[in-house]
Structure 1
Amino acid sequence: MRPRTKPDQSAGISCAQARESARRVLAEQDAPPTLVADVLTVVSELVSNAVRHAGGVTGFRVGVRTGQVVVEVSDRSALLPHLRPPSPHTPGGFGWRVVKTLAPRSFVRSHRSGKTVIAALPVRRPVSPATGPAMGG
């Protein structure tokens, strides 16, 4: 499939909208159900963290490339995600651990207006290379 681009319409996207966008991109590639589930989990974690802790989503993209699915979520905060030690006394704090488990090559790119978290999930069987934003329609 050829790379495609569309105007970025992702500012303020909700978790449900982001998951639906990711589903559409993965359906076009006939991605296996286990990969879809992992991608949707990563999307949920990154988007909900941007909403909860970073003033909301300012950009969202899902792309399928050779050997990986890449999820990008941008927000307004310069605060980087970090692993918190597990604690039975503090709820939550597992999101970044989940993302790093499912997408071990995840990283953060800081920029003037905040940051972009890039999570690359390995594809275990070939998926047609394509990239493009998940938003738009």
Structure 2
Amino acid sequence: MNCAQAREAALRVLAEVDASPDLAERVLLVVTELVSNARRHAGGVTGFDVSCRDGRLTVAVSDRSTRSPRLRPQAPRLPGGFGWRLVTTLAPGTFIRFHRGGKTVIATLPALPLGA
């Protein structure tokens, strides 16, 4: 799965739940970062899911690596290194589930506007 396919799948779920533009933007950023990181650093995407339950929208991306993503020191003059920080900022409850053959990164965002 590439980023465009993942974003299309996420957009279908977002449309089904009549997500706000703000939520849609945050979810699409998380989807793009998780999928691109899995492709670039973790052997590719082996699973992808977006769901909405109990007022929370969850993005789950599985890959082939058992290495945890890591925060890189902020270095504004160097390219890259912002994706994991962005994901954990937009979805602070993000966690990693390790399994045979890799891991799944699970990012959950509130489906209601921030501050609501």
Q: Same fold (TM over 0.5)?
A: yes
Aligned counterpart, 1:104: 92
State the 4+ residue runs in structure 1 displaced beyond 4 angstroms.
Answer: none
**TM-score of the aligned structures, taking structure 1 as reference length:** 0.80
Tell me the CA shift for residue 45 of structure 1. 0.1
**5+ residue gaps, structure 1:** 1-12, 126-137
* CA distance, structure 1, for counterparts of residue 2 and residue 111 of structure 2: 25
* Bigger Rg, which one: 1
Q: Tell me the matched-pair count.
A: 113
The secondary structure found in structure 1 opposite 2:105 is: strand
CA RMSD of superposed structures (Å):
1.0
Matches of 1:54 and 1:66, distance apart in 2 = 30
Partner of residue 66 from structure 2, selected from 58, 78, 81: 78
In structure 1, how many angstroms separate the alpha carbons of the residues matched to 2:20 and 2:14? 9
**Aligned pair 1:16/2:8, yes or no?**
no
Residue segments in structure 2 that go unaligned for 5+ positions in a row: none
In the TM superposition, residue 89 of structure 1 has moved relative to its aligned partner by 4.6
Give SS of 1:118's match: strand
Question: Identity of aligned pairs, percent?
Answer: 65
Counterpart for residue 108 of structure 2: 120
Partner of 2:75: 87
1:42-81 alignment to 2 at 5 Å? 42-81=30-69
Of 51-60 and 86-95, the range deviating more from structure 2: 86-95
Which of residues 13, 31, 34 in structure 1 aligns to 2:19?
31
CA distance in 2, matches of 1:120, 1:88: 27
| Larger helix percent | 2
